[in-house]
């Protein structure tokens, strides 16, 4: 396993991050793994040297965090792993059970720490962006969480470039801990973050930890074939809404062609492409089997040629400004 610096920090993370959205309760999503099923997958990641794990309070209403705590933090030295979580999505039915108020963020971090069974997370991130957010309040609250020792670093996920920039400039002006990382959607069929977010992150030396490098499984196989349907592809309306364009199927076809030429899988080619994007620190991949972990780790040994990258890039079609999903 390769390890890299997390942005400008001295923190070292594995070149791959295991996403924990697929660990939790089947009552939340029928394709997720419950604790006894998730443990072997997490153990396989650890055996490969993966030390970076990303979760969220919203995943299975906190059960994902509980599973990581039980599986990783109870059995491995706390300083040997890097745990990231997120807050901002609804966790209660009342108006203050979501978003980025001080009230919600302080409760969210305390609840996450309780579920994880630790006194701090390594990275605490905003989740889905809320346009009515007061940036001064958000930046101040996240800084206070760092100063309280409940998070070592703070970052953002799926935030517009203007807001991300303003958050960092506000922190700089007020001499507060600034967002150190951006978690955004990036894969050969979804490249909207390359417009503004990634160039800014590279300029600032920030960590970029893209999610969905295989397009939530869309890029792994031709989903027009009923035989290639999975429980997730059957129920994930986000994928259906944002990945079933003609151009997306064209991307998948090229990935499959290159995979056949290399005796690899389309998933590995998609992940290799994402790993080779300039400035990418550690893609976040999901796995629901040990074999999928092995497959992802093996993709690190694939270096795509300029010609192969050009073949993939030629099939991409940009989405409209409001059509990128997150």
Which residues are marked as active site?
Answer: 59
Phi, psi of 3 (to 5 degrees): -125, 140
For 121-169, the three-class secondary structure string (H helix, E strand, C coil) is EEEEEECCCCCCCCHHHHHHHHHHHHHCCCEEEEEEECCCHHHHHHHHH
Q: What length does the chain have?
A: 326
3-class SS at 285? strand
CA angle in degrees (0–180, nearest 5) for 14-292-217: 100
With beta carbons less than 8 A apart as the criterion, state whether 207 and 281 touch: yes
With beta carbons less than 8 A apart as the criterion, state whether 213 and 186 touch: yes
């Amino acid at each position: 396993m390769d390890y890299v610096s997390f942005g400008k920090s001295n923190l070292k993370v594995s070149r791959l991050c295991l996403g924990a959205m697929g660990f939790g309760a089947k009552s939340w999503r029928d394709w997720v793994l419950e604790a006894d099923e998730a443990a072997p997958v997490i153990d396989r990641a650890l055996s490969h040297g993966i030390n970076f794990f990303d979760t969220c309070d919203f995943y299975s209403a906190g059960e994902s965090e509980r599973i990581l705590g039980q599986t990783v933090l109870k059995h491995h030295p706390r300083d040997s792993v890097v745990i990231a979580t997120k807050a901002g999505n609804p966790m209660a039915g009342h108006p203050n059970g979501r978003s980025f108020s001080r009230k919600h963020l302080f409760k969210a971090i305390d609840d996450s720490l309780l579920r994880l069974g630790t006194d701090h997370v390594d990275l605490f991130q905003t989740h889905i962006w809320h346009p009515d957010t007061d940036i001064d309040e958000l930046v101040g609250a996240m800084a206070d969480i760092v100063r309280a020792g409940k998070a070592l670093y703070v970052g953002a996920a799926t935030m517009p470039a203007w807001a991300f920039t303003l958050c960092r400039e506000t922190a700089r002006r007020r001499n507060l801990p600034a967002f150190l990382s951006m978690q955004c959607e990036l894969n050969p069929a979804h490249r909207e973050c390359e417009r503004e977010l990634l160039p800014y992150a590279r300029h600032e030396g920030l960590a970029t930890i893209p999610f969905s490098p295989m397009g939530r499984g869309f890029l792994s196989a031709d989903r027009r074939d009923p035989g290639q349907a999975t429980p997730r592809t059957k129920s994930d309306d986000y994928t259906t809404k944002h990945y079933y364009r003609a151009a997306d199927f064209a991307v998948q076809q090229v990935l499959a062609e290159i995979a056949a030429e290399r005796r690899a899988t389309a998933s590995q080619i998609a992940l290799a492409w994402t790993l080779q994007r300039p400035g990418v620190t550690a893609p976040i991949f999901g796995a629901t089997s040990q074999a999928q972990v092995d497959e992802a780790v093996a993709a690190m040994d694939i270096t795509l040629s300029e010609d192969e990258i050009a073949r993939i890039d030629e099939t991409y079609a940009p989405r409209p400004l409001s059509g990128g999903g997150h």
